[in-house]
Amino acid sequence: MTAVRKGLILAGIDGSDLSTSVIDYTIWISKQSQSPLKFLHTIEHSHQSDVPHHEGNLTPNMKEHLLEELSGEERLESKQLIADGKTIINNARDKAEQAGLTDIIAKQRHGTLPEALVDLESELSMVVLGSKGEDHKGDKQGLGAQLEEAIRAIHTPVFIVKGEFSEPKKMMFAYNGSPTSKTALQLVAQGHFCNHALELHVVSVKSTLDDAQALIDEASAVFEKANVTVTTAALAGEAVDELTAYQQKNDIDVTAMGAFSHGKVHGFFFGSFTTRMLLESNANFLLIR
């Protein structure tokens, strides 16, 4: 192992419908960026006994028996979760090795995914997550319960997988001039996401074409300085509608954008642009904060 180690590409996997795609995209990103990868499975206990209990009617002896019963059930649950998780991460490791990768870490840990990401962030260059986890199994719409919390917990770029793996060919960078968008602009221009392998489109949407074109000119200057060739589009209208239409018309595989530039309170009352894009688009996303 060399003394200088690139940041890890971390895949959060949970055995959900999208886990296979998360593994495939992580392998592709690891190969393209020549970065080591890490598969992570978190175990969050949510034990609920199948036996109804009425706390107000319990005698001391009954309470002691209840605690013993819950302890036993929790031990069995924990063992099963650990065994299932080992199978998930071992299968992921095997798939990465079959793809020719050698610098692989596969780990389990207790706690929530956001907690794990905060602890590990200093080691990471990118996180890959499915848009829906095991808690949304079978759902065709919606986002995972912990997804927004996980994205907000760190400032490492997060790649969101929306469907089955297909090798990315085109990436759209949605630029709106916000602080997070300016940060994303610099990272994308510097080639932090496999730019050499992708056809890059830069799109800005404002209420007027003149305002949109001003943003395109600003972004184009940055890409020109970085010697990156881009296709540009200035659009007028409602941002989510225009961007999703552009994705579909141009067969965009990945949309890169700044994420959650407003706080949680603003998002609660007015709706988050990031969340709306994730919900209404079928493309994968590279979110940068």
> Which tens digits make up the pLDDT trace of 121-177?
999 999 999 997 555 454 445 677 788 889 889 999 999 999 999 999 999 999 999
Contact 164, 272 (CB under 8 A): no
Of 62-66, 88-92, 157-161, the poorest mean pLDDT is in 62-66
Query: Does residue 13 sit in the same domain as residue 90?
Result: yes
Q: What is the pLDDT of residue 24?
A: 98
For residue 221, is pLDDT > 50? yes
Would you say residue 28 lies in a domain? Answer: yes
Which tokens hold the place of 177?
A: 């001039």
DSSP 172-199: EEE----HHHHHHHHHHHTTTT-GGGSE
- Residues in CB range of 153: below 8 A, 6 or more apart: 114, 115, 117, 118
Instruction: Report the alpha-carbon distance of residue 24 to residue 6 in Å, rounded.
Output: 20
Would you say residue 54 lies in a domain? Answer: no
Q: What is the mean pLDDT of the chain?
A: 84
Q: What is the pLDDT of residue 200?
A: 96
Would you say residue 121 lies in a domain? Answer: yes
Query: Does residue 34 sit in the same domain as residue 114?
Result: yes
Residue % of the chain over a pLDDT of 70: 80
For residue 211, is pLDDT > 60? yes
Average pLDDT value for residue range 5-28: 92
Instruction: Report the alpha-carbon distance of residue 233 to residue 209 in Å, rounded.
Output: 10
Among candidate residues 104, 130, 160, the one where a domain is terminated: 160
The CATH number of residue 195's host domain is 3.40.50.620
For residue 11, is pLDDT > 70? yes
Contact 281, 247 (CB under 8 A): yes
Q: What is the pLDDT of residue 65?
A: 56
Q: What is the pLDDT of residue 260?
A: 67
Query: Does residue 263 sit in the same domain as residue 189?
Result: yes
Average pLDDT value for residue range 70-77: 69
Q: What is the pLDDT of residue 59?
A: 58
Q: 74 — phi, psi (to 5°)? A: -65, -40
Query: Does residue 205 sit in the same domain as residue 103?
Result: no
Would you say residue 55 lies in a domain? Answer: no
Query: Does residue 104 sit in the same domain as residue 218?
Result: no
Higher pLDDT, 17 or 143: 17
Query: Does residue 15 sit in the same domain as residue 128?
Result: yes
Q: What is the pLDDT of residue 46?
A: 57
Query: Does residue 178 sit in the same domain as residue 281?
Result: yes
Query: Does residue 145 sit in the same domain as residue 232?
Result: no
- Expressed as residue numbers, the domain containing 269 is 168-288
